[in-house]
Amino acid sequence: MRAGVVPGSMLIELNGKDDPLLRRSAKGDERAFTELYHRHQPPLFRFALRMTGNSWAAEEIVQEVFMMLVREPQKYDASRGTLGAFLYGVARNRILKHLERTPRDLSLDESADAGREVHPQLHDEMTPARWTELRERREQVRAAVLDLPAEFREAVVLCELEEMSYEEAARALDCPVGTIRSRLHRGRALLLAKLEMLRDVPKRANAGRR
């Protein structure tokens, strides 16, 4: 399991404990709200960051999601799914509005590694050249993901990066499982094509110098 990433199957188990916390939070219990926040903020932030490519926008979107939860907890209907899926849905709506009104900015800053831990020995074992190469590849992947159309990007982020199952992603995006499968298939194909194009750029540049 990747450091800092909670698989979707574990999220289901965590979500089973959310309803009592939400009821206590709605009554003004700050500790209950804090626990909900710490439980759901990291995956929501990663989702928003990977969708927008902007840490400031991601932080603002996540804050809006939790402000909604504080002000209107009754909007969550437990009979329709887990609190985690509900919060992903709210975040998704905020993200799409952000993407509609803001030109996409490929600001691939260091905070894109939020929620990840880097093993201390990795720095010691990696040469500067190797570290630079891995960093460039990671930024190429981020850029390629951000360049995907929003509906394909959502499927790739949730299923590939957040490790959700098709069913969990379908609940988060409020769409059929078949839609998730087709979007993920198309998103993967586009992503691979974009990465292949990026890998070919240095080859063409070197060929041009000959």
- Is pLDDT of 133 > 70? no
DSSP string, 124-169: HHS-HHHHHHHHHHHHHHHHHHHTS-HHHHHHHIIIIIS---HHHH
The pLDDT value given to residue 206:
52
Structural domain contains residue 207 = no
Work out the average pLDDT over 83-100. Answer: 92
- Is the Cβ–Cβ distance between 173 and 162 less than 8 Å? no
> Which CATH number covers residue 178?
1.10.10.10
- Is pLDDT of 77 > 80? yes
Structural domain contains residue 111 = no
Pull the structure tokens for residue 109.
């800053």
- Is the Cβ–Cβ distance between 103 and 110 less than 8 Å? no
Residue 20: C-alpha distances to residues 29, 33, 70, 175 (Å):
11, 11, 15, 27
The pLDDT value given to residue 140:
77
Which residue has 């939400």 as its token pair?
22
- Is the Cβ–Cβ distance between 85 and 94 less than 8 Å? no
Which residue has 């070197």 as its token pair?
206
Strand (E) or helix (H) holding 91: helix 83-101
Residue 126: C-alpha distances to residues 74, 119, 120, 121 (Å):
51, 11, 11, 9
Q: What confidence category does residue 170 fall into, taking pLDDT thresholds of 50, 70 and 90?
A: very high
Structural domain contains residue 209 = no
Structural domain contains residue 101 = yes
Measured CA to CA, the distance from residue 186 to residue 180 in angstroms comes to 10
Measured CA to CA, the distance from residue 95 to residue 92 in angstroms comes to 5
Structural domain contains residue 110 = no
- Is pLDDT of 10 > 50? no
Q: What confidence category does residue 42 fall into, taking pLDDT thresholds of 50, 70 and 90?
A: very high
Work out how many domains the chain is built from and give that number: 1
Prediction pTM value: 0.66
Domain housing 25: 8-105+117-201
The pLDDT value given to residue 193:
84
